Amino acid sequence: MTEVNRPPRPGGWTRFVTARPRLSLLAALVLTALAVLAGSGVADRLGSGGWEDPAAESTYATKALEREFPDSQPNLLLLVDSGRSSVDAPAVAAEARSLATRLAGEKGVTGVGSYWQAAPSAAAALRAEDGHEALIAARITGDEKEMGRTLDRIAPSYRGTHGPLKVRVGGVVAVRHEMQTIIQEDLARAEMIALPVTLVLLVMVFGSAVAALLPLGIGIVAILGTNAVLRGLTEFTDVSVFALNLTTALGLGLAIDYALFVVRRFREELASGAEPLTAVGTTLRTAGRTVLFSSLTVAVSLAAMLLFPQYFLRSFAYAGMAVVLLAAAAALILLPAALVLLGHRVNALDLRRAFRRGRPAKASGEEGTAWARAATLVMRRAPLFAVATTVGLVVLGLPFLGVKFGTADDRQLPSGAESHIVQQHIRDGFPGSPGGGLEVLAEGRASQAQYAAYKQRVAALPEVARVDGPLVKGESAYFTVLPKGEAVDDAAQRLVGDLRAADAPFDTKVTGTAAVLVDSKHAIAEHLPWAAAFIAIVTLLLVFLLTGSVLIPVQAVVLNALSLTAMFGAVVWVFQDGHLSGPLGFTSSGSIETTLPVLMFCVAFGLSMDYGVFLLSRIKEEYDRTGDHNEAVRHGLQRTGGLITAAAVILAVVMVAIGTSRVTNTKMLGLGIALAVLMDAMVVRSLLVPAIMRLTGRATWWAPAPLRRLHERIGLSEGEAAPPAAESEEQRDKIGARH
C-alpha cells in the first residue's frame, strides 16, 4: 500500500528543472542582469523606416540618385513663415537667403536650395499660394542614425524666430526622427499603465499576491531578454523601432498567459492533495506541454514575416519569436523552480480570504459551472450559434473590402507635432510638394535631343502636371515628374506604371513616394501566398501532433482566420475612414499602411492559436480519459473558459496601453489586436468552437490509420500517458453505458 501511494519520482525534464531550484533562479537573475546591460540603449539603435522592398526598382533608383545626384531628393525642409509680409519682401528674402547659406555650411548637409534661389520653373512649387510661406530644402546625408544625430545638432539653431521669419523644421528625416522619439516616450508610458493594471487583474484572477507576481516576473524576464536579442541583431541588420511595442505587448501578454496556465494547473494539483514536487511534475507533463505547443504555434505565425523583404516586417519576426520563446522558456524552467521553492506558499497573501469568511469554499468540481452551463447551451443549439456567430463575424469584416493601401507619412504623428504641421501646410497651401513627386533615373549615353523628346512624351501623359530636368552627370540623368493629384493617390500610382512603360532610348528607373508604394504592394502580394501557406501548413502539423485529428487542425486554421474579421473591419472603418478619429486622437490619411495588415494578421493569428491550443489540449485530455466527445468539449470549456478569458482581458489591457500611443500605426496595432484577442476568447472560443465541435461529433477525432499510427509514435498531448488499448475500450464502454 505504501508503495502504491508513494509519489512518483520526477521524470527527466522535471528532474532537470527542479533538481537545484535556487541555483536555477540565481542563474536566471544573473542572466537577466546581463540582458539589462546588453539591451541598454537598444531604442537608439533602431530605425523608423523599413517599408520599402530593398530589391525593388524604386530602391535601386533612390540609392543611385543619392550617389550621383545628392541634391535630387531633399529630406529636410524648413518652412519659412513671413507672417503678414510677402515672402518676396526684401527683409524676408535677405534673412531667408542667410539661413540657406548657413545651412549649406553645416556638416552632413548637402543640396541646399530655396524659393529665393531656385530657377523660375521650380520656384513656384516652393512658395505657398497665399504668398506668406516658402521653403528651404536640403538633404542630410548618412544612414538613418547619422541623419538623426545631424538633425538633433542643427535643428535647434534653425527652429524658431529669425528676424521677420518664423521657421519650422520638417521633411522625411524630421518626420521619422520625431516618430522614433514619440514611440519611445509612449512605450515608457504604456509600460507604466500596463504593469500596475496587469498586477491588479492577476490578483483578481488568482486571489493571491504571491501567485500574481509570478507571471509578471516571467514577463519582465522575457522583455529584458528580447531587448538584448534586438540589440545584438542591430549589429548585423536593420531593426524597426516599432518592434519594441510588440516586445512589450507579447512579453507581458504571453508570459502571463503561459504562467497563468502553469500556476493554475499547479494549484489544482496542490488542491487535489499532491506534494509540491509531484504537482510540478504533473504540471510540466500537462500544462507544460500545452505551453510548448502554444509557443511554437505563435512563433510560427510570427516567423512567416521573415519571408517578406521589408525590414519593418522582419523586425517584428525577430522581436516576436525571441519574446515568445523566451517567455515559454521562463515559464517552463524558472517558474517550476519557483513553484518548488514556494510550494503551498504560492497561495500566500490570499487577498480574497476576507471576502470568503463565513461562506463555504467551492469544491473543485464546482469551479467553472457557469462555463459548463454555457457550453451545454451552445451545444444544445449548435446550428443556431454556429450560423449566427459566423454571419456576425463576416458582417463585422465587410468594411475591409474597401481597404485602400498607402504609405506611412507625417499623419502618423499627432496633429501638434512640428514635422506634421510642416507637411500639412505643404499639402494645404503649396501647389507642389517637394519630395512628393516622382524621380526618373535615366542611365545610358543620350543626346540633348533624346532627353528633350523623352521629356515631351512624359509631359504628355494624362496624370502629369509638370516635368523638370533633366540634370545630367556623365551617362546618368534624372527628371522630376510632378503628378496632378496627391503624392500617393490612385492616379499617382497609375503614373508610376505609365512612366515605367514609356519608351526611352536609355534605361529608366522610377522612384518617389508613389513608386515605393507600388513596389511595396507588389512585394507583399508576391510573398503573401508563401507566408500564408507556411503558417497554414506548420499550424496544421502542430495541431495534428497535439490532437491526432485531421479535422481539428482544419477547424483551428479556419476559425482562427474567421476570428480576425472584426479586427480588419474595424481597422478600415476607424483608421482609414476616420470614424472615432476625434475621441482616439489621430489624423486619418484615408489609407492603411501596406505592411500593417500583414503584421496584424500574423500577430493576431498566433495569439488566437495560443488560446485555441489551451482549449483543445484540455478537451483532448478529457476525451482521452473518457471517450465522451460532448462531455470532453463541455469539460474543456469549463476548465479553461475562465482562464482564457482572464488571459485575453490581461493581454487586451496591455495592447490597449500600447494603443494609447500618439503614433497612428502603433495605435492601430494595439487597439486592433486587443479587439481581435477579445473577439477570439469571448466569441470564437466560447461560442463558435463548441458549436462546431458539437456538429462534427465524434468525427472530430477521426484520422486515417497511417496518420493515427504516426500520431501514436510522435504526437504529444496534455494528458498523462494513455491507458492500454483494451483497458481504454473497457472504460469507454462503461462510460457509454452510464450516459
In this prediction, residue 17 carries a pLDDT of 67
pLDDT higher than threshold 50 for residue 186: yes
Q: How far apart are CA 447 and CA 651, in angstroms?
A: 63
| Residues in Cβ contact with 454 at an 8 Å cutoff, skipping those fewer than 6 apart | 442, 479, 502, 504, 505, 506
Lowest-confidence segment of 348-352, 370-374, 618-622 by average pLDDT: 348-352
Half-sphere exposure of 705 (CA within 13 A, CB side): 0
Cell of 182: 514619440
Please report the pLDDT score of residue 75 as a whole number: 85
Q: 66-70, 666-670, 704-708 — which one is most confidently predicted on average?
A: 666-670
| End-to-end Cα, the chain, rounded Å | 33
Cα–Cα nearest to 594, from 573, 571, 617, 574: 571
**By the 8 A CB rule, do 307 and 530 touch?**
yes
Q: In whole angstroms, what is the distance from residue 620 CA to residue 636 CA? A: 8
Express each pLDDT in 512-564 by its tens digit: 888 988 999 999 999 999 999 999 999 899 889 888 889 999 999 999 889 89
- The mean per-residue pLDDT over the stretch 179-200 comes to 86
Dump the DSSP string for 46-91.
Answer: -BS---S-TTSHHHHHHHHHHHH-TTSS--EEEEEE-TTS-TTSHH
CA distance 167 to 79: 6
- pLDDT band at residue 716, thresholds of 50, 70 and 90? low
* DSSP E strand stretches across 243-392: none
Residue 294 confidence (pLDDT) above 90: no
pLDDT tens column, 573-583: 999 998 988 88
pLDDT at position 217, please?
A: 84
Q: How many CB atoms are closer than 10 A to CB 201?
A: 17
CB distance 591 to 522 below 8 Å: no
In the structure, what pLDDT confidence band is assigned to residue 730 with cuts at 50, 70 and 90?
Answer: very low
Q: Which of 140-149, 510-519, 621-630 has the lowest mean pLDDT?
A: 140-149
Segment of 64-68, 206-210, 722-726 carrying the highest mean pLDDT: 64-68
- At 509 the pLDDT is 93
Long-range residue pairs from 632-636, CB within 8 A, at least 24 positions apart, any chain? 633/375, 633/379, 633/690, 633/693, 633/694, 634/372, 634/375, 634/376, 634/379, 634/690, 635/372
Please identify which residue in the block is written with the cell numbers 519593418. 312
Show contacts of 452-457: CB within 8 Å, 24+ apart.
Answer: 454/479, 454/502, 454/504, 454/505, 454/506, 455/479, 457/502, 457/503
Q: What is the pLDDT of residue 507?
A: 92
**Predicted confidence (pLDDT) at residue 671 exceeds the cutoff of 90:** yes
pLDDT at 736: 39
Q: What value, to the nearest 5°, has the Cα angle with vertex 371 and ends 367 and 377?
A: 140
pLDDT of res. 530: 94
Burial class (CB in 10 A: 0-12, 13-18, 19+), 715: middle
Higher pLDDT, 87 or 51: 87
pLDDT band at 12; cut points 50, 70, 90: low
pLDDT tens digits along 321-339: 988 888 888 888 888 888 8
* pLDDT value of residue 518: 92
Sheet holding 476-483, edge to edge: 464-473, 476-483, 438-443, 507-512
Percent of the chain having pLDDT more than 90? 27
DSSP state string for 600-629? HHHHHHHHHHHHHHHHHHHHHHHHHHH--H
Q: With bands split at pLDDT 50, 70 and 90, how would you rate the model's confidence at 626?
A: confident
Q: What is the pLDDT of residue 569?
A: 94
Q: Is pLDDT above 70 for 355? A: no
Beta carbons within 8 Å of 90's beta carbon, 6+ residues apart: none
Range from 92-101, 336-345, 466-475, 722-731 carrying the lowest mean pLDDT: 722-731
Write down how long the chain is. 739
Which whole number is the average pLDDT over 369-373? 85
- Residue 462 makes CB contacts below 8 A (sequence gap 6+) with none
Candidates 492, 491, 470; CA nearest to 479 is 470
* Rounded Cα distance, 91 and 31, in Å: 63
Stretch (H or E) spanning 448: helix 448-459
The pLDDT of 586-604, averaged and rounded, is 88
Q: Which helix (H) or strand (E) holds 649?
A: helix 629-658
Please check the confidence at residue 359 and state whether its pLDDT lies above 70.
Answer: no
3-state SS, residue 160:
strand
**Does the bond joining 470 to the residue before it have cis omega, within 30 degrees of 0?**
yes
State the average pLDDT for the chain.
84
Q: What is the pLDDT of residues 211-255, one digit of tens each?
A: 778 888 888 888 888 888 888 888 888 888 878 877 888 888 888
Helix (H) / strand (E) containing 561: helix 551-563
Judged against a pLDDT cut of 50, whether residue 162 lies above it is answered with yes
Residue 368's region, left for phi above 0, alpha for psi from -120 to 50, else beta, is left
pLDDT band at 190, cuts 50/70/90? confident
Q: Are 346 and 339 within 8 A, CB to CB? A: yes
Q: Which residues contact 733 (CB under 8 A, 6 or more apart)?
A: none
Cα torsion 100, 101, 105, 106 to 10°: value is -20
SS3 147: helix
Mean pLDDT on 691-713: 88
Mean pLDDT across 16-43: 79
* Confidence check: pLDDT of 462 > 50: yes
Instruction: Specify the pLDDT at position 365.
Output: 44
Residues with Cβ within 8 Å of residue 105, at least 6 apart in sequence:
none
The full DSSP string for 40-58 is: TTGGGG-BS---S-TTSHH
According to the model, what pLDDT value does residue 73 have?
78
Kindly indicate the confidence band of residue 343, based on its pLDDT and cuts at 50, 70 and 90: confident
Q: Give which of 365, 387, 385, 366 is closest to 375, Cα–Cα.
A: 385
3-state helix, strand and coil shares in percent for the chain, rounded to the nearest 5: 70, 10, 20
pLDDT given at position 235: 84
- What pLDDT sits at residue 143? 77
**What pLDDT does 84 receive?**
84
**Longest CA–CA separation in the chain, Å:** 106
What integer is the mean pLDDT of 103-115? 89
Closest by CA position to 290, among listed 613, 603, 624: 613
Task: For residue range 717-729, list pLDDT tens digits in order.
Answer: 544 444 443 334 4
Percent residues over pLDDT 70 in the chain: 90
CA distance 707 to 550: 8
* Residue labelled with grid coordinates 513553484: 339
Here the cell at position 542 is 502542430
CA gap 274, 364 in Å, rounded: 14
In the three-class reduction of DSSP (H, G, I as helix; E, B as strand; rest coil), residue 247 is classed as helix
Please give the DSSP secondary-structure letter assigned to residue 716. -
The more confidently predicted of residues 468 and 120 is 468
Single out the residue of 229, 327, 211, 195 nearest to residue 268, CA to CA.
211
Q: What pLDDT sits at residue 432?
A: 59
Residues 6 or more apart in contact with residue 387 via CB below 8 angstroms: none
| pLDDT tens readout for residues 645-669 | 888 898 899 899 989 989 898 899 9
pLDDT computed for residue 433 by the predictor = 58
CA distance 32 to 255: 15
Q: pLDDT tens, 375-423?
A: 899 999 999 999 999 999 999 999 999 998 888 788 888 888 999 999 8
For cell 463576416, what's the residue?
394
Among 44-48, 124-128, 418-422, name the one with the lowest average pLDDT: 44-48
Q: Please say if the pLDDT value at position 364 is more than 60.
A: no
